[in-house]
Amino acid sequence: MTSLLRQIVAGPRSRHPEAGLDLCYMTDQIIITSGPSSMYPQYAYRTPLDQLVKFLDYKHGKEWGIWEFRAEGTGYPDSEVYNRVWHYPFPDHHPPPFGLVPKIMAEMRHWLRDENGKERKGRVVVMHCKAGKGRSGMMACSYLISECGWTVSEALVRFTERRIRPGFGQGVSIASQLRWVGYVNRWKCSGKLYIERQIEVIEVYVWGLREGVKVQVEGFVEEGKAIKLFHTFTKHERILADGAVIFKPSTRVILPSSDINIHFKRQNKALHRWTMGTAHVWFNAYFEGNGPDDNGVFEINWDRMDGIKGLSYKGVRALDRLVVVWESV
């Protein structure tokens, strides 16, 4: 264990209950908070925006700015935070389009550092989503990895230690969001090269597919604000070969970016009741194709897929193993 990691594990928690706020300092320059609100009834159970602004003004003067990631809306007008807010919304329980990551990291870096790369004294970034956990934690860890030289383990441990109460699990816990943190590390190690492309899904192989399971291909639209269903495979698009069900679309399935989500839904009537299961997995073809390759293969087992609304629970098992074959357009 590195000395930094020992410090992270042993370090103190950084909440501010005396201010009535649910926020923590990941570092001297990075603050995480749950989504604030200035409207009722949310004001009663979420971080009160006026108290958050008062706290930030007192601690940091004019040297604070907000980066928010809520596709469901912030819950407050920009004017109530002096218009010092940067919006990069994407859906809860999901990673963002990877193409947003370099933009977000660059904006944060320019806010926190001068033209010589030195930290601006007293300046902070405040990040929030809804709970200040998955989306915010993923972005905070991404900044520490890509701009501060932290390892993936150091960043994830720091976020969990500072943001999550003991015994309540890991901070960034959704499998696809953790995959994105790994992509950020690969992006940094490659010299921050990323090429966005349209991707065509050629074939989908599924082993152990249960009866009644729908297989769907999804991707981001509206700059990541929404997830669109691009294709649902039909019975006429499936064949059996070597123990796998092979889905080959009858028309081309082309996604607008390198971000691909394969979604499985199951609904069967058993013992006079409906039993349901759902799982999905996001991957980015640029990284799974080892850089600028024109094609690639992504594979994963059921146990490593995302569950229902950010949980590990996926309901009734739908499959054993998935392989996706893709090409860039």
Q: What is the pLDDT of residue 167?
A: 81
Lowest model confidence (mean pLDDT) among 42-56, 76-90, 135-149: 42-56
Longest Cα separation, the chain: 68
Return residue ranges of the chain for CATH 3.90.190.10: 3-189
Structure tokens at 86: 């940067």
Could you read off the pLDDT of 131-154 as tens digits, one per residue? Answer: 999 999 999 999 999 999 999 999
Q: Which two tokens stand for residue 307?
A: 């569950």
Amino acid at 229: L
Partner residues linked to 304 by β-bridges: none
Average pLDDT over residues 109-138: 94
Sign of the alpha-carbon torsion through 119, 124, 130, 133 = positive
Confidence (pLDDT) at 42: 61
CATH number (2.60.40, 2.20.130, 3.90.1690, 1.25.40) of 199-328 reads 2.60.40
Amino acid letter at 225?
K
CB 97 within 8 A of CB 139: no
Q: What number of helices (H) and strands (E) belong to the chain?
A: 8, 16
The confidence score (pLDDT) of residue 316 equals 82
Is a pLDDT exceeding 70 seen at residue 8?
Answer: no
Strand ordering across the sheet containing 21-27: 15-16, 21-27, 30-33, 124-128, 64-70, 85-90
* Strand locations in the chain (E): 15-16, 21-27, 30-33, 64-70, 85-90, 124-128, 199-207, 213-221, 226-232, 238-241, 244-247, 253-255, 259-270, 273-284, 295-301, 321-328
The CATH architecture to which 3-189 belongs is Alpha-Beta Complex (3.90)
Pairwise CA distance, residues 236 & 192, whole Å: 42
Residue type, 86: W
CA distance 150 to 242: 44
Task: Give the count of alpha carbons within 13 A of 125, CB side only.
Answer: 27
| 180-221 tens-digit pLDDT | 999 999 999 999 999 999 999 999 999 999 988 999 999 999
Outline which parts of the chain fall under CATH 2.60.40. Answer: 199-328
User: Other C-beta atoms within 10 Å of 195: how many?
Assistant: 10
Closest C-alpha among 80, 289, 277, 84 to residue 183: 289
The length of the chain is 329
Q: How confident is residue 18, by pLDDT bands cut at 50, 70 and 90?
A: very low
Is there a contact between 325 and 211 (Cβ–Cβ < 8 Å)?
Answer: no
Which pLDDT band, with edges at 50, 70 and 90, does 274 fall under?
A: very low
Lowest mean pLDDT among 2-11, 23-32, 125-134, 246-255: 2-11
**CA neighbor of 138 nearest in space, from 183, 89, 184, 181:** 181
CA distance to 70, 202, 215, 324, per residue, from 206 (Å):
33, 14, 9, 9
DSSP 182: H
Per the prediction, the chain carries an average pLDDT of: 88
Rg (CA), the chain: 21
Binned at pLDDT 50, 70 and 90, residue 40 comes out as low
Burial class (CB in 10 A: 0-12, 13-18, 19+), 328: middle
165: confidence class by pLDDT, cuts 50, 70, 90: confident
The Cα 184–Cα 198 span in angstroms is 20
